[in-house]
Chain A
Amino acid sequence: MKGKPVLIIVILFTSIFSNCLKDGDIKSIFESYIPEQLNDGWEISTPEHEGFDSDKIHRVYEKVFSEDIYPTMHSLLIVRNNKLIAEAYCRDQKERDQFHNLQSVTKSITSILMGIAIDKGFIGSVNKPIYDIIPEYFDNDIRKRNITLYHALTMQTGLDFDNDVNTEELYTNAENSLEYVLSRGLIFLPGTDYHYNDGDPQLISGVIQKVTGKSEEEFALENLFNPLGIDYYQWEKHRDNTTFGAFGLWLKPRDMAKIGKLMEQNGFWDGEQIVSSEWVEESTALRIPSDYYGYYWHNIEHDTGAIYAVGHGGQYIYIVPHVNLVIVTTADPYSDMGALSEDFHIIFNDIIDAIIY
Chain B
Amino acid sequence: MKKRIVFIIILVFLKSGIAFPQEENNNIFGFTIGFTEYQVKEKVLNNIRHRGMFFSGGLFYEKIKEFSYQKFELYMIYNKLKSRYDPDKATTAVNLSLNYMYAKKVKDIKDDFCFFLGGVIGLDSYVSFYDNWDDSHGYWLTSYYLGLDAILTYQTSDKSSLFIEFNTPVVALISRPPERILYKMDNPGFSSAIKKLHENLRLTSMHQHFVLNINLGYTFQYFNKFKQSIFWRFMYLDNNMTYSKKINILIHTLGTSFRF
- A26:B46 contact, CB within 8 angstroms: yes
Q: Is A21 interfacial (CB 8 A cutoff)? A: yes
Q: Is A19 interfacial (CB 8 A cutoff)? A: yes
Q: Which residue of B lies closest to A335 (CB)?
A: B133
Given contacts A21-B41, A23-B84, contact A336 B135 (CB under 8 A): yes
What's the least CB distance linking B116 to chain A, in Å? 15
Given contacts A2-B156, A14-B10, A339-B90, contact A332 B46 (CB under 8 A): yes
Q: Is B223 interfacial (CB 8 A cutoff)? A: no
Q: Is B158 interfacial (CB 8 A cutoff)? A: no
Q: Is A168 interfacial (CB 8 A cutoff)? A: yes
- A168:B187 contact, CB within 8 angstroms: yes
> A336 to chain B: which residues have CB within 8 Å?
90, 131-133, 135
- A334:B134 contact, CB within 8 angstroms: yes
Residues of chain B in range 23-62 having any CB-CB distance to chain A below 8 Å? 39-41, 43, 45-49, 51
Task: Provide the bound-state CA to CA distance between A167 and B136, in Å.
Answer: 11
A6 interface neighbour in B83, B137, B162, B236, Cβ under 8 Å: B162
> B214 to chain A: which residues have CB within 8 Å?
13, 17
Interface band, chain B: 35 or more
Residues of chain B in range 106-162 having any CB-CB distance to chain A below 8 Å? 112, 131-137, 152, 154, 156, 162
- A6:B164 contact, CB within 8 angstroms: yes
Q: Is A142 interfacial (CB 8 A cutoff)? A: no
Q: Which residue of B lies closest to A9 (CB)?
A: B164
> B234 to chain A: which residues have CB within 8 Å?
13, 17-18
- B84:A335 contact, CB within 8 angstroms: no
Q: Is A24 interfacial (CB 8 A cutoff)? A: yes
> A7 to chain B: which residues have CB within 8 Å?
11, 14
Task: Provide the bound-state CA to CA distance between A332 and B47, in Å.
Answer: 13
Q: Is B252 interfacial (CB 8 A cutoff)? A: yes
Residues of chain A in range 1-56 having any CB-CB distance to chain B below 8 Å? 2-3, 6-7, 9-11, 13-15, 17-26
A339 interface neighbour in B39, B87, B162, Cβ under 8 Å: B87
Q: Which residue of B lies closest to A103 (CB)?
A: B184
Q: Is A171 interfacial (CB 8 A cutoff)? A: yes
- A334:B2 contact, CB within 8 angstroms: no
Q: Which residue of A lies closest to B87 (CB)?
A: A339
Task: Provide the bound-state CA to CA distance between A336 and B133, in Å.
Answer: 6
Give B70-111 as 1s and 0s: 1 = Cβ < 8 Å from A's Cβ atoms.
000000000000011111001000000000000000000000
Q: Is A241 interfacial (CB 8 A cutoff)? A: no
Q: Is B64 interfacial (CB 8 A cutoff)? A: no
Interface band, chain A: 35 or more
- B49:A24 contact, CB within 8 angstroms: yes
What's the least CB distance linking A15 to chain B, in Å? 7
Most chain B CB within a 10 A radius of its CB, from A9, A21, A68, A167: A21
> A187 to chain B: which residues have CB within 8 Å?
none
Residues of chain A in range 163-222 having any CB-CB distance to chain B below 8 Å? 167-169, 171-173
Give B1-21 as 1s and 0s: 1 = Cβ < 8 Å from A's Cβ atoms.
011001100110010001000
> A10 to chain B: which residues have CB within 8 Å?
10, 14, 164, 216
> B6 to chain A: which residues have CB within 8 Å?
14, 18
Q: Is A340 interfacial (CB 8 A cutoff)? A: yes
Q: Is A267 interfacial (CB 8 A cutoff)? A: no
A18 interface neighbour in B3, B11, B154, Cβ under 8 Å: B3
Q: Is B250 interfacial (CB 8 A cutoff)? A: yes
Q: Is A119 interfacial (CB 8 A cutoff)? A: no
What's the least CB distance linking A162 to chain B, in Å? 12
- B14:A19 contact, CB within 8 angstroms: no
Q: Is A247 interfacial (CB 8 A cutoff)? A: yes
B133 interface neighbour in A6, A13, A23, A332, Cβ under 8 Å: A332
Task: Provide the bound-state CA to CA distance between A167 and B185, in Å.
Answer: 8
> B46 to chain A: which residues have CB within 8 Å?
24, 26, 71, 91, 332
> B252 to chain A: which residues have CB within 8 Å?
18
Q: Is B194 interfacial (CB 8 A cutoff)? A: no
Q: Is A236 interfacial (CB 8 A cutoff)? A: yes
Q: Is A248 interfacial (CB 8 A cutoff)? A: yes
What's the least CB distance linking A66 to chain B, in Å? 12
Task: Provide the bound-state CA to CA distance between A262 and B187, in Å.
Answer: 37
Task: Provide the bound-state CA to CA distance between A247 and B182, in Å.
Answer: 10
Q: Which residue of A lies closest to B5 (CB)?
A: A18
Given contacts A11-B7, A334-B135, A339-B87, 15 further A-B contacts (CB under 8 A): A2-B112, A10-B10, A10-B216, A18-B6, A21-B51, A22-B49, A24-B47, A168-B184, A168-B187, A172-B187, A332-B46, A332-B134, A334-B136, A334-B137, A339-B131
List residues of chain A with CB under 8 Å of any chain B CB. Answer: 2-3, 6-7, 9-11, 13-15, 17-26, 67-68, 71-72, 91, 103, 167-169, 171-173, 236, 247-248, 332, 334-336, 339-340
